[in-house]
Amino acid sequence: QPGFPTGYGPPQPPQPQQPSQQPGQPGVIKNYGIPQPAGGTVALQTGFTDSNVPYNTPATGNAQQSPGMPYKSASDQNYPQRPQFNYQSNQYGVQGYTQISSTTSNYPEGAAGNKDLQVTEQELTALLAQKDIARTLTEDLLKHFGAEDLEVKEQPKAPALNNGTLSSGPFSPSNLDESKIKEVKVEKPDPSDLPQIFDKTEAKPVETIKCEATSSTNKIDSIRSESVLKLESLCETPMEPEFTIEMDSKSIMEMCKGRGINAVPNCSILSDKSPPPAPPDPPAQRLTKEQLNPPAPSVYLENKKDAFSPQLQEFCLKHPIAVIRGLAAALKLDLGLFSTKTLVEANPDHGIEVRTQMQQTSDENWDPVQAKKVWGCISHRSHTTIAKYAQYQASSFQDSLREEKDKAQGIHSANLSDSDSKDSTGVVKRKKNAYGLAGRPGSKMLRFGTNVDLSDERKWKNQLQELMKLPAFARVVSAGNMLSHVGHVILGMNTVQLYMKVPGSRTPGHQENNNFCSININIGPGDCEWFAVPDAYWGVIHQLCEKNNINYLHGSWWPALEDLYEENIPVYRFVQRPGDLVWVNAGCVHWVQAVGWCNNIAWNVGPLTARQYQLAIERYEWNKLQSFKSIVPMVHLSWNLARNIKVSDPRLFDLIKNCLLRTMRHCCLILEFVQNKGVEVRFHGRGKNEASHYCGQCE
């Protein structure tokens, strides 16, 4: 699994000697990550409840100029100088990827080597007396180790859940139990069988033996190292130097010298040895009808004390999605500051993006000609001002009241022919009914006001000040929020965005940028309907998008519920009322439709947990393969986190430091490469609030 450790296990003896370093080789980097927890049971759709992993408690963010906690990982050392096979419990095993640390033997001469193999001097003499031993030794060994003694032991195991794929979260139930993975064991030959390894012909006495054949330890050395060499083709060559997070910067730069002259390798902040990230396979467990429709995790707040309790944050981090009901009342939030009336009075000419969509019920999605149900969601972009959209929103509400009145008098205006019209595409536009829905699915177009930027503190001072009443874990700016350490504005992520809706307005299916958590508060007066799927199933939804010829990242899609249930995907479905806060946990797939006329405010947060960071860097690397720009500059953020806070979570500490190690090494190699080509390098520096620079966007 990308970014997960291939070196965790019992500590190994120290290396007696340092392998030689070949110039020009970039070296290898030890893998660091979160150890795989045991797979969950049917808690797939109800949250992450692994009691063995205390991931619910986020690290504290202390604004100190500290390099971080001096934590040393209890991981083993690679390439110890004794023959062994460390077969890692890694999900790639079931897909054919084998991660084996193998080494050659360097036993000293003497009885110690013989004792380890349980071979007596008399047996060795007999072995060395076989005829043509120099010619047949290698052939017999290959036959022997290629047959009986290389045994693959397989314990009874459940079906694989994540076959060599991107993590759906180290604490998601989609991960494998380490004890369920295959183990490779090299059996040591029984001493009584050793003579049978060689030629079966009768031994003839040998009067003299060449010098190189007299050393019994050397001969046994060649026996043991031969089998190892057959497996080393699967591994990184042990001749390359290893970079670890225990090294200081000076050591890293020294090891990089002379290795970036010929070329610079690609830089992954996950791992050098794992396959490229890919969408995960879903959990294998078949769910019942009830489990496919789980109740939404929700909690009701009665007062301010409830809102600021540590248990509330733990509750949110435990579930894929959670609803905090009564939050506005408990904290006495003035939601009127975000009403359409107040927004128009404050900044009527403020720009707003508009999405033109088809009006239809929340559990249906029709094609433009209303012939069949599809996944593709029609959503055309345009722009207007808050004042103009407010006028549209109000007139839509007035039309609905008028239709309600007509309906009460027995006049079905929605079916009158003189109220019908056509838009530029020729689609019939019928008047909507009392619930804001057309008489026929998709027969009317609506406009959804989205992405209203509230980042300007001068324009929206009162609104932003009101949100400071929220508990720290839900605030836009907080020391414990990773996104507050980016150092520049990422619109809609570490700033507030507002959405202005009429009934039927849709936010199509998606995961948040770089899998960060998100906060959404309904201002009202109407409700919103939410659909959500745990992150363990995002790989299947990705497959369904591809099946429907829709790009998962770039496309606009509205999942068909029957397709999800058929694929064994659980779906949370719930209503968000005015004053309710919805917490979307890392990686959760979700889509939303307005039931009534309402406004919503939303932003992202990054709790200081290993799980949040792991999912963010995994998506960062997967985005590269999809030619999709990551909105969050994860490398820049990682260096700022190391600079700004003291990380109290050991696993998060290792993950961040691993990113620093990989990117620093890459910088050293690049500098050496371009300087060797005669290119002058000038330090750019960074100004206050300067945005991060992406190498794919030349400036």
| Cβ pair 188, 117 in contact under 8 A | yes
Please say whether the beta carbons of 162 and 90 come within 8 A.
no
Q: In the prediction, which pLDDT does 696 show?
A: 65
- When pLDDT is cut at 50, 70 and 90, the band that residue 393 belongs to is very high
pLDDT score recorded for residue 598:
98
What is the pLDDT, as a whole number, of residue 122? 56
Cα separation, 48 vs 169, in Å, equals 9
User: Residue 570's closest CA among 162, 316, 164, 282?
Assistant: 282
pLDDT (average), residues 138-161: 42
pLDDT tens for each residue of 479-532: 999 999 999 999 999 999 999 999 999 999 999 999 999 999 999 999 999 999
pLDDT band at 31 (very low <50, low <70, confident <90, very high): low
Give me the DSSP letters along 38-51: PP-SSTTTT----T
Query: What pLDDT is stored for residue 409 in this prediction?
Result: 81
pLDDT at 26 over 50: yes
The mean pLDDT of 434-459, rounded to a whole number, is 77
For 403-418, the pLDDT digits (tens) are 888 888 876 554 443 3
Helix/strand/coil for 537: helix
83 — pLDDT class (breaks 50, 70, 90): very low
Q: What is the mean pLDDT of residues 355-380?
A: 93
Instruction: Give the mean pLDDT of the chain.
Output: 74
Instruction: Give the pLDDT of residue 423.
Output: 41
* Architecture field, domain 249-275+622-677: Up-down Bundle (1.20)
pLDDT at 250: 81
Among residues 176, 137, 131, the alpha carbon closest in space to that of 157 is found at 176
Average pLDDT for residues 193-209, to the nearest whole number?
44
b/e 15-32 (16+ beta carbons within 10 angstroms → b): eeeeeeeeeeebbbbbbb
pLDDT at 688: 86
The arithmetic mean of pLDDT across residues 296-322, rounded, is: 97
pLDDT score for 245: 65
pLDDT at position 552 is: 97
Where is pLDDT greater, at 329 or 46? 329
Q: What is the rounded distance in angstroms from the CA atom of residue 368 to the CA atom of residue 506?
A: 16
Which comes out higher in pLDDT, residue 152 or 501?
501
In the chain, the percentage of residues whose pLDDT exceeds 90 is 47
Does the structure show a pLDDT above 50 at 79? no
> Which among 492, 412, 504, 503 is positioned nearest to 453, based on CA atoms?
492
Q: Dump pLDDT digits (tens) for 188-200.
A: 444 444 444 444 4
Q: How confident is the model at residue 466 (pLDDT cuts 50, 70, 90)?
A: very high
Could you give the CA distance from residue 228 to residue 102 in angstroms, rounded to a whole number?
6
Residue bearing the bigger pLDDT, 304 or 263: 304
Q: Is 387 left (phi over 0), alpha (psi -120 to 50) or beta?
A: alpha
Q: What is the pLDDT of residue 485?
A: 97
Distances (CA, A) of 437 to 362, 402, 405, 444, 595: 10, 14, 16, 8, 10
**Which pair of tokens denotes residue 599?**
């406004």
- Work out whether the CA dihedral 19, 23, 25, 30 comes out positive or negative: positive
Q: How high is the pLDDT of residue 33?
A: 56
Residues sharing a CB contact under 8 Å with residue 115, sequence separation 6 or more, in sequence order: none
Cα 503 to Cα 360, 528, 575: the distances in Å are 9, 9, 14
* Whether the predicted pLDDT of 424 surpasses 70: no
Quick: pLDDT tens for 227-241: 454 554 455 444 566
- Say what the pLDDT of residue 695 is: 74
What's the rounded Cα separation, in Å, for the pair 521 and 498? 10
Cα distances (angstroms) measured from residue 374 to each of 125, 370, 696: 78, 10, 34
Q: Which pLDDT score, from 0 to 100, does residue 697 have?
A: 64
121, 101 contact by CB (below 8 A): no
Lowest mean pLDDT among 24-33, 41-50, 159-168, 488-497: 41-50
- State the pLDDT confidence band at 261, using cuts at 50, 70 and 90: confident
d(CA 487, CA 640): 8
pLDDT tens digits along 638-683: 999 999 999 999 999 999 999 999 898 888 888 888 888 888 988 8
Task: Confirm if 618 and 350 have CB atoms less than 8 A apart.
Answer: no
| In the chain, domain spans | 249-275+622-677, 294-406+442-608
- The percentage of residues in the chain with a pLDDT greater than 70, rounded to a whole number, is 60
Q: From residue 496, give the alpha-carbon distance in Å to each of 212, 330, 586.
A: 76, 21, 18
Q: CATH number of 294-406+442-608: 2.40.128.30, 2.60.120.650, 3.40.630.10, 3.40.50.2020?
A: 2.60.120.650
Residue 577 in contact with residue 522, Cβ under 8 Å? Answer: yes
Higher pLDDT, 371 or 306: 306
More confident residue, 377 or 204: 377
User: Is 249-275+622-677's fold the same as 294-406+442-608's?
Assistant: no
Ranked by mean pLDDT, the top range of 163-172, 395-404, 504-513 is 504-513
Q: What is the pLDDT of residue 179?
A: 40
Per-residue confidence (pLDDT) for residue 263, from 0 to 100: 75
Lowest mean pLDDT among 24-28, 208-212, 377-381: 208-212
Over residues 196-218, mean pLDDT: 43
Select the more confidently predicted residue: 464 or 408: 464
Check residue 480 and give its pLDDT.
Answer: 96
What is each CA distance from 618 to 166, 309, 533, 615, 623, in whole angstroms? 7, 31, 19, 5, 9
Q: Which of 61-65, 70-74, 542-546, 618-622 has the lowest mean pLDDT?
A: 70-74
Query: Tell me: the pLDDT tens digits for 585-608?
Result: 999 999 999 999 999 999 999 999
Confidence of residue 570 (pLDDT cuts 50, 70, 90): very high
Residue-wise DSSP of 119-184: --HHHHHHHHTSTTHHHHHHHHHHHHHHTTSEEEE----PPPSSSS---S-TTSTTSPPGGGS-EE
